[in-house]
């Protein structure tokens, strides 16, 4: 017996497009920009966009894994702020001390989440909301309610401002993280377990998968990545910023959703999240260019509106797809 | 006995009880090697319990199991799987978004150098499937394939685990004929390769097509085990659901054979359903019900009975068919339509779509009646009380008090409350789907007697039942359904066990072709047989006063029944004392905490007890509470609203534009009026938009409101071009600065909103609907509540509160900064709601609690600050409080 997907060719095409819609949109946006603005693809612009969006990308990467497992992590923004403060405080001891300290701080917040979610069985939304407050408080305490300047005596700022092989170091870090993330997701059992748990936790248990252990490590990893984003933040702007990061969690969720990862879990792609981050970042970039041309004067504030609209379109598109699938059954 | 026929599996003398109620009594099962063994029985006969005992879900209380020649005891489903027993559950337990390969190989992945070897895994998946002559693209997600193929994958996974025994629980329930044929090929293939199969199904034809032997279970016992070829279909049905042997010849239900119901063909039917088709389960069903008639619907599980009932009630839309009700064409789009026409419906599974578990007996009983119990949207409590008391008395509902949560009642009492839910509407047609399932003997008799009495009063009753006694003794007419079709319509004397069984087995005993009506057999008082059993005692009592056909009569029967049976409610009552303490702690915990905090501060914090300190604290809490009221309502429906902070920014950006005449020029008083009206109207509208998005596209509330969280602040910034708007406008700013009688104006506003919110939630019909939707969405829909509208309105109210809060913030600041107004407010409000004791999963909410929660959070912060702890540390404490509150809540409910 040979069976083709019951949805047929048309279904497969829509599925292809929907699975890669964010990539298609990203390519279209880049094409649009490069045709319209002469400097759009210039090295300066490209590198700036990459440098600035690296930290969002890292936070979104952790969020992707958490959401794929059917959870959510609202604490990433605050954990990044905490990471930036800790790394700034440690930056005088050198690059590695700052890096390790910042990541450890983020990781500690992830650990709090992990314990609350897997041991106390508090829903992820609430757990991570509480952890967010804890991280905010800790950051403010350590920073004494102000930003903490990083040490310029050490190499620390290289992590945010430096280049390697003509490419910003933060972008390298993000790229490495995404490559690793993609590898874990696609080529290790743990990666597939994450998706399985998100798709059907009961089934995952019946399949004998280590559900608790996987969920636990997910939140720790998300915290570590947020801490890393904080390190880059501090290194890039020369200061640990205890009040930065507010709202990052929701923008990260938006990037993940725009990338096509279902918020209900069980499906998703790491690279699509990267595309989602770049897409949302480029909207800002293009607005700047457009204003530079002087044809229309759209304030930079339109970026949020456009991002929101974009998110809405993606979400409605996805919802209709899901509804149609449900109706077919 | 030679080696070849040594059984692969032998289970003997298995006993298993749950809370003292036996589910298996001396049950047994024997499966030979390479045999397909049918396991059948009615719902509750013990099949699944037996299987779960075998696969390690439950531990047996007693009995022996040998598997593959050895004594066997599985500690978990995984252990059973490792031992060679695989189960394929009815709801396919696979992960539909994942690829075919993953679903087959997860848990025993192939690795190369530590990484997954996809190529090898794909090959393995293809190889396993090829054994079943299935060739598919194993890289595609499972959801791309038909249910049959998904079943095949589940089987392939099971076989891939080197199983010796594969258990299939109703594998064909969602397959079409062609797919069933494929599945049977697979089963034969399994058999040929030496694997045994236990096949659970309700479709008898299938059993004969593929099974070798059969075991029939009933009431937890194994009642038959034989070669299938030696047992006829009729025998199967009879052993499964025929009258119990020990009591054959006796009436077993409390149904009074109402002397007669002169259902003549001249009398126009109350309800007529013709050629109904619904989805996969109902192909062609025709049903008629007349007033005063009890019409039974018999059929095996999965025959489509419940689906017909749901379609009549407007819960599912029909694909084909016509209905008339009271002679008029009838096409309900929602349960609300059906209810308005005069139809009530007690659904099959009380827990899934009947009760709203956390609501009280009172609320559950009047859920559908509410629109008639209100004056201007406010519940007339006195009348509600009267109705509830009346029905609780008449139906003999046993509960500690009317405000007891219905989940604490026994099944029988829950069912009575649900019956009362419809009876109080005075319907003309009542549809009962398994009205006495899972109910103790006493309550069962009461409900049956009640149904009889109601029909005698002129109510039309359509009763679906799997209990053959109930159908035979209770019905004036009986329809038999088989695989989605009404295959027989039996009148009066034709209603015999044989006729029903035959129709269920073959569909061949159709005495009356359905659709046509034949002259009713003259009704004659059927010979009464001596009554036996507890139910019969009740029957006797009722019969004693048989002339009076009043519902009330049932209650006269009640004491007799209850004498023999300890009422379940007393059990509940016995354990009430410690529970009351817990409830009290949970209910008043927040209040106590608040008092302790206040007391501490009055005693130890200098300057706390002065007006100004109190006012400062109050002012800081006002906005959170004003937003929190709306958030409480949203959360009560099981939603969440992340957009409130951004909506505050919009309101804050709009108002100055209006009174400073930046948009258009109007006289100041007009501008001021507009500055109050337009922003709040705008945020309310945007709130409604949230609700629309969430209900129309079934988007999770987090994502749905995330859109406005992002775009909303952008809009506010665009409106003001990101500029700080500074102003001094006393005519506007009183909302944040006025101090009538020394009290901050916004505190008064807050109290008003809290009172309004509290009143709305507790006393208005809308509040009940909110809680019902959050407590059990589907039950609410079946009670005629417009679920979507309710959800949209709570988001509107949330937007309304956010708008007001936005205006207050800018008044206090004398400036509006779109970047800052309301920043982080969504999380503050959620925190207040959580600490206040509202369930974040919906269904139980308290607006006053949210006020207390916000006050506690603020007071803790103030206390810490006043005692030299930095504000940042207070954040940590706040986080701990939220987790603590939710943890306690969960512990309280997990009991």
Does the predicted interface ipTM exceed a cut of 0.90?
Answer: no
Q: CA-CA distance, B497 to B490, in Å (whole number)?
A: 11
Q: Are A307 and A247 in contact (CB under 8 A)?
A: no
User: Contacts by B370-373 with C-beta closer than 8 Å and gap 24+?
Assistant: B370/B765, B370/B768, B370/B769, B371/B765, B372/B425, B373/B765
Residue tagged 């309700």 (tokens) = B202
Cβ separation of B706 and A208 shorter than 8 Å? no
Is pLDDT of B586 > 80?
Answer: no
Give how far Cα B314 sits from Cα of A138, A229, B297, B332, B355, Å.
Answer: 55, 53, 18, 5, 19
- Min Cα–Cα distance to chain A from B513, Å: 32
The residues with which B324 forms a beta bridge, in sequence order, are B272, B329
Shortest CB distance from B697 goes to which of A141, A196, A319? A319
| Residue predicted with more confidence, A290 or A71 | A71
Q: Comparing C-alpha atoms, which of B870, B886, B834 is closest to residue A136?
A: B870
Cβ separation of B721 and A299 shorter than 8 Å? yes
Q: Comparing C-alpha atoms, which of A8, A26, A4, A10 is closest to residue A272?
A: A26
Q: Comparing C-alpha atoms, which of B664, B626, B621 is closest to residue B648?
A: B626
Q: Which of residues 142 through 201 in chain B touch A, CB cutoff 8 A? A: 143-147, 149, 182
Region of poorest pLDDT, from B221-225, B505-509, B577-581, B820-824: B577-581
Shortest CB distance from A263 goes to which of B135, B703, B834? B703
Q: Which of residues 862 through 881 in chain B touch A, CB cutoff 8 A? A: 870-880
pLDDT value at residue A64 = 94
Q: Comparing C-alpha atoms, which of A226, A173, A205 is closest to residue A65?
A: A226
Name every residue whose Cβ is closer than 8 Å to that of residue A111 and which is 6 or more positions away in sequence.
A219, A220, A223
Cβ separation of B96 and A322 shorter than 8 Å? no
pLDDT value at residue B568 = 38
Is pLDDT of B659 > 60?
Answer: yes
pLDDT digits 0-9 by tens, A40-55: 888 888 888 888 899 9
Shortest CB distance from B116 goes to which of A6, A188, A262? A188
Tokens of residue B650, six digits: 């919009």
Q: Are A273 and A286 in contact (CB under 8 A)?
A: no
Taking all residues of chain A, what is their mean pLDDT, rounded to a whole number? Answer: 85
Q: How confident is the model at residue B92 (pLDDT cuts 50, 70, 90)?
A: low
Percent of chain B with pLDDT over 90: 29
Q: What does B660-679 look like in DSSP terms, one character per residue?
A: TTSSS---HHHHHHHHHHHH
Q: Are A273 and A258 in contact (CB under 8 A)?
A: no
b/e map B32-68, b = 16+ CB within 10 Å: bbbbbbbbbbbebbbbbbbbbbbbbebebeebebbbe
Shortest CB distance from A134 goes to which of B118, B703, B876? B876
Q: CA-CA distance, B848 to B756, in Å (whole number)?
A: 11
Planar angle of CA B758, B763, B765, nearest 5 degrees? 115
pLDDT value at residue B863 = 85
Q: Which residues of B touch A120 (CB under 8 A)?
A: 883, 887
Tokens of residue B131, six digits: 């054994």
Is pLDDT of B788 > 90?
Answer: yes
Residue A22 has, within 13 A of its CA and on its CB side, a CA count of 29
Cβ separation of B145 and A3 shorter than 8 Å? yes
Region of poorest pLDDT, from A133-147, B214-228, B233-247, B881-895: B233-247
Q: Are B672 and B732 in contact (CB under 8 A)?
A: yes
Size of interface A-B (CB pairs under 8 A): 227
- pTM score of the predicted model: 0.80
Residue of A67, A196, A260 to mutate when probing chain B, most B C-beta within 10 A = A196
Q: CA-CA distance, B678 to B696, in Å (whole number)?
A: 26
Residue B298's φ and ψ, nearest 5 degrees, are: -110, 160
| Residue predicted with more confidence, B506 or B289 | B289
Give how far Cα B791 sits from Cα of B307, B487, B710, Å.
Answer: 27, 42, 21
pLDDT digits 0-9 by tens, B19-43: 777 889 999 999 999 999 999 887 7
Strand B36-41 relative to strand B196-200, pairing:
parallel
Tokens of residue B571, six digits: 């059990």
Name every residue whose Cβ is closer than 8 Å to that of residue B644 and which is 6 or more positions away in sequence.
B627, B630, B631, B798, B799, B801, B802, B805, B822, B825, B826, B829
The residues with which B726 forms a beta bridge, in sequence order, are B815
Q: Could you give the 3-state DSSP secondary structure of residue B213?
A: strand
Shortest CB distance from A203 goes to which of B93, B146, B718? B93
Planar angle of CA A13, A17, A21, nearest 5 degrees? 175
Percent of chain A with pLDDT over 90: 34
Judged on CB neighbours under 10 Å (0-12, 13-18, 19+), B626 is buried
Q: Comparing C-alpha atoms, which of B141, B559, B824 is closest to residue A325?
A: B141
Cβ separation of B882 and A303 shorter than 8 Å? no
Q: CA-CA distance, A307 to B129, in Å (whole number)?
A: 45
Shortest CB distance from A304 goes to which of B642, B714, B882? B714
Provide the 10 A C-beta neighbour count for residue A133: 25
pLDDT value at residue B47 = 86
Tokens of residue B175, six digits: 């397959």
Q: What does B90-131 look like in DSSP terms, one character per residue?
A: SS--S-TTSBHHHHHHTTS--EETTEE-HHHHHHHHHHHHHT
Alpha-carbon dihedral sign for residues B98, B103, B106, B110: negative
Chain B residue with minimal CA distance to A6? B145
Provide the 10 A C-beta neighbour count for residue B598: 16
Q: CA-CA distance, A102 to A88, in Å (whole number)?
A: 8
Per-residue 3-state assignment (H helix, E strand, C coil) for B323-360: EEECCEECCCCCHHHHHHHCEEEECCCHHHHCCCCCCE
Residue B320's φ and ψ, nearest 5 degrees, are: -145, 165
Q: CA-CA distance, A232 to A226, in Å (whole number)?
A: 10
Whether B107 contacts chain A with CB within 8 A: yes
pLDDT digits 0-9 by tens, A267-319: 888 888 999 899 888 887 887 787 776 655 666 677 778 888 888 888 888 77
Q: CA-CA distance, B150 to B131, in Å (whole number)?
A: 15
Name every residue whose Cβ is closer than 8 Å to that of residue B892 and which is 6 or more positions away in sequence.
B582, B586
pLDDT value at residue B265 = 56
pLDDT digits 0-9 by tens, B523-535: 333 333 333 334 4
Q: How confident is the model at residue A163 (pLDDT cuts 50, 70, 90)?
A: confident
Q: Are B361 and B399 in contact (CB under 8 A)?
A: yes
Which H or E run contains B178? helix B177-192
Residue tagged 């052993």 (tokens) = B239
Residue tagged 């990338």 (tokens) = A259
Which H or E run contains A148? strand A148-149
Residue tagged 């509902």 (tokens) = B397
Is pLDDT of B253 > 70?
Answer: no
Residue of B90, B153, B879 to mutate when probing chain A, most A C-beta within 10 A = B879
Q: Are B774 and B632 in contact (CB under 8 A)?
A: no
Q: Which of residues 700 through 729 in chain B touch A, CB cutoff 8 A? A: 700, 702-704, 706-715, 717-718, 721-722
pLDDT digits 0-9 by tens, B670-700: 889 999 999 999 999 999 999 999 999 888 8
Which H or E run contains A198? helix A189-199
Percent of chain B with pLDDT over 70: 86
Is pLDDT of B557 > 60?
Answer: no
The residues with which B27 forms a beta bridge, in sequence order, are B14
Taking all residues of chain B, what is their mean pLDDT, rounded to a whole number? Answer: 82
pLDDT value at residue B313 = 93
Q: Are B292 and B233 in contact (CB under 8 A)?
A: no
């Amino acid at each position: 017996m040979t069976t083709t997907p019951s949805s047929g060719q048309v279904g497969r095409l829509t599925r292809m497009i929907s699975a890669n819609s964010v990539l298609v949109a990203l390519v279209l946006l880049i094409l649009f920009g490069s045709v319209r603005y002469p400097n759009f693809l210039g090295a300066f612009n490209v590198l700036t966009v990459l440098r600035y969006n690296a930290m969002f990308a890292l936070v979104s990467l952790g969020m992707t894994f958490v959401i794929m497992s059917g959870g959510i992590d609202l604490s990433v923004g605050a954990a990044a702020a905490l990471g930036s403060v800790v790394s700034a405080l440690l930056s005088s001891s050198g690059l590695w001390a700052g890096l390790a300290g910042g990541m450890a701080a983020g990781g500690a917040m992830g650990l709090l989440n992990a314990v609350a979610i897997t041991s106390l069985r508090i829903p992820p939304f609430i757990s991570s909301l509480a952890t967010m407050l804890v991280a905010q408080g800790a950051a403010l305490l350590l920073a004494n309610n102000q930003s903490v300047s990083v040490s310029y005596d050490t190499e620390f700022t290289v992590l945010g401002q430096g280049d390697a092989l003509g490419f910003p170091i933060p972008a390298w870090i993000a790229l490495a993280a995404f490559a690793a993330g993609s590898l874990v997701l696609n080529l290790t059992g743990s990666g597939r377990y994450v998706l399985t748990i998100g798709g059907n936790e009961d089934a995952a248990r019946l399949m004998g998968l280590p559900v608790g252990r996987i969920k636990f490590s997910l939140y720790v990893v998300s915290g570590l990545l947020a801490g890393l984003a904080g390190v880059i933040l501090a290194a890039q702007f020369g200061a640990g910023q205890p009040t930065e990061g507010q709202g990052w969690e929701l923008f990260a969720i938006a990037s993940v959703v725009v990338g096509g990862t279902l918020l209900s879990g069980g499906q998703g792609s790491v690279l699509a999240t990267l595309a989602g981050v770049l897409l949302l970042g480029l909207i800002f970039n293009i607005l700047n260019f457009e204003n530079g041309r002087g044809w229309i004067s759209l304030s930079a504030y339109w970026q949020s509106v456009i991002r929101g609209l974009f998110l809405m379109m993606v979400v409605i598109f996805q919802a209709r797809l899901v509804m149609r699938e449900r109706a077919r059954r | 006995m030679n080696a070849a026929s040594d059984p692969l599996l032998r289970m003997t003398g298995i006993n298993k009880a749950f809370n003292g109620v036996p589910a298996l009594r001396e049950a047994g099962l024997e499966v030979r090697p390479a045999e397909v063994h049918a396991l059948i029985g009615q719902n509750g006969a013990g099949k699944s319990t037996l299987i779960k005992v075998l696969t390690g879900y439950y531990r047996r209380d007693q009995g022996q199991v040998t598997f593959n020649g050895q004594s066997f005891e599985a500690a978990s489903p995984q252990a059973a799987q490792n031992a060679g027993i695989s189960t394929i559950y009815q709801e396919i337990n696979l992960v539909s978004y994942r690829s075919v390969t993953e679903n087959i190989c997860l848990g025993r992945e192939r690795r190369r150098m530590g990484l997954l070897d996809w190529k090898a895994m794909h090959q393995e998946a293809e190889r396993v499937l090829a054994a079943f002559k299935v060739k598919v693209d194993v890289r595609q997600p499972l959801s791309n394939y038909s249910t049959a193929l998904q079943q095949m994958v589940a089987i392939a996974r099971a076989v891939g685990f080197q199983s010796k025994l594969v258990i299939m629980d109703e594998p064909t329930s969602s397959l079409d004929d062609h797919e069933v044929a494929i599945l049977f090929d697979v089963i034969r293939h399994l058999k040929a390769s030496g694997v045994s199969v236990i096949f659970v199904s309700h479709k008898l034809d299938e059993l004969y097509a593929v099974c070798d032997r059969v075991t029939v279970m009933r009431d937890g016992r194994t009642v038959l085990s034989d070669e299938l070829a030696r047992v006829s279909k009729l025998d199967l049905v009879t052993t499964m659901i025929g009258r119990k042997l020990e009591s054959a010849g006796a009436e077993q239900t409390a149904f009074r054979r109402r002397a007669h119901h002169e259902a003549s063909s001249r009398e126009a039917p109350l309800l007529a359903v013709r050629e109904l088709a619904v989805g996969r389960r109902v192909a062609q069903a025709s049903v008629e019900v007349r007033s005063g008639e009890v019409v039974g619907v018999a059929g095996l599980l999965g025959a489509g009975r419940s689906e017909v009932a749901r379609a009549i009630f407007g819960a599912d839309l029909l694909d084909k068919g016509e209905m008339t009700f009271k002679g008029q064409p009838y096409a309900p789009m929602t349960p609300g339509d059906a209810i308005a026409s005069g139809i009530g419906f007690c659904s099959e599974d009380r827990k899934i779509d009947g009760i709203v578990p956390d609501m009280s007996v009172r609320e559950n009983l009047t859920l559908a009646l509410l629109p008639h119990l209100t004056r201007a949207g406010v519940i007339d409590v006195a009348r509600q009380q009267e109705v509830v008391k009346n029905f609780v008395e008449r139906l003999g509902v046993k509960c500690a008090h009317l405000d007891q949560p219905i989940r604490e009642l026994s099944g029988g009492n829950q069912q009575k409350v649900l019956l009362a839910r419809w009876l109080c509407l005075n319907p003309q047609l009542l549809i009962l789907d398994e009205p006495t399932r899972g109910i103790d003997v006493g309550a069962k008799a009461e409900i049956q007697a009640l149904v009889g009495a109601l029909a005698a009063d002129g109510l039309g009753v359509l009763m679906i039942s799997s209990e053959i006694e109930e159908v035979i003794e209770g019905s004036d007419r009986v329809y038999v359904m088989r695989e989605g079709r009404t295959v027989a319509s039996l009148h009066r004397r034709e209603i015999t066990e044989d006729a029903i069984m035959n129709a269920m087995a073959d569909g061949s005993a159709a005495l009356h072709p359905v659709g046509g009506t034949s002259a009713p057999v003259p009704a004659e008082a059927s010979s009464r047989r001596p009554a036996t059993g507890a139910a019969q005692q009740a029957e006797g009592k009722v019969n004693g006063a048989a002339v009076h056909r009043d519902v009330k009569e049932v209650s006269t029967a009640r004491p007799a029944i209850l004498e023999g049976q300890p009422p379940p409610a007393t059990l509940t009552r016995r354990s009430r004392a410690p529970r009351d303490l817990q409830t009290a702690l949970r209910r008043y915990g927040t209040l106590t905490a608040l008092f302790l905090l206040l007391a501490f501060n009055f005693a130890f914090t200098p300057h706390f007890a002065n007006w100004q300190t109190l006012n400062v604290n109050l002012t800081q809490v006002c906005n959170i509470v004003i937003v929190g009221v709306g958030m409480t309502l949203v959360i009560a429906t099981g939603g969440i609203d992340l957009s409130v902070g951004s909506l505050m920014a919009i309101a804050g950006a709009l108002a100055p534009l209006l009174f400073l005449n930046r948009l258009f020029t109007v006289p100041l008083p007009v501008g001021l009026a507009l500055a109050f009206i337009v922003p709040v109207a705008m945020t309310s509208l945007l709130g409604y938009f949230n609700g629309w998005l969430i209900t129309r596209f079934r988007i999770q509330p987090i994502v749905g409101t995330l859109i406005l969280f992002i775009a909303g602040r952008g809009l506010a910034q665009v409106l003001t071009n990101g500029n700080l708007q500074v102003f001094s406008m006393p005519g506007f700013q009183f909302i944040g600065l006025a101090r009538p009688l020394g009290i901050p104006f916004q505190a008064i506003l807050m109290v008003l909103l809290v009172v309004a919110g509290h009143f709305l939630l507790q006393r208005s019909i809308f509040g009940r609907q909110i809680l019902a939707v959050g407590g059990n969405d589907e039950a609410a829909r079946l009670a005629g509540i417009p679920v979507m509208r309710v959800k949209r309105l709570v988001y509107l109210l949330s937007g309304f509160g956010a708008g007001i809060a936005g205006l207050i913030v800018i008044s206090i600041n004398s400036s509006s900064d779109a970047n800052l107004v309301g920043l982080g407010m969504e999380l503050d409000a959620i925190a207040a709601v959580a600490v206040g004791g509202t369930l974040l999963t919906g269904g139980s909410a308290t607006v006053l609690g949210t006020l207390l929660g916000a006050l506690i959070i603020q007071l803790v912060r103030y206390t810490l600050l006043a005692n030299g702890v930095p504000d940042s540390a207070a954040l940590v404490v706040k986080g701990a409080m939220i987790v603590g509150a939710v943890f306690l809540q969960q512990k309280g409910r997990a009991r």
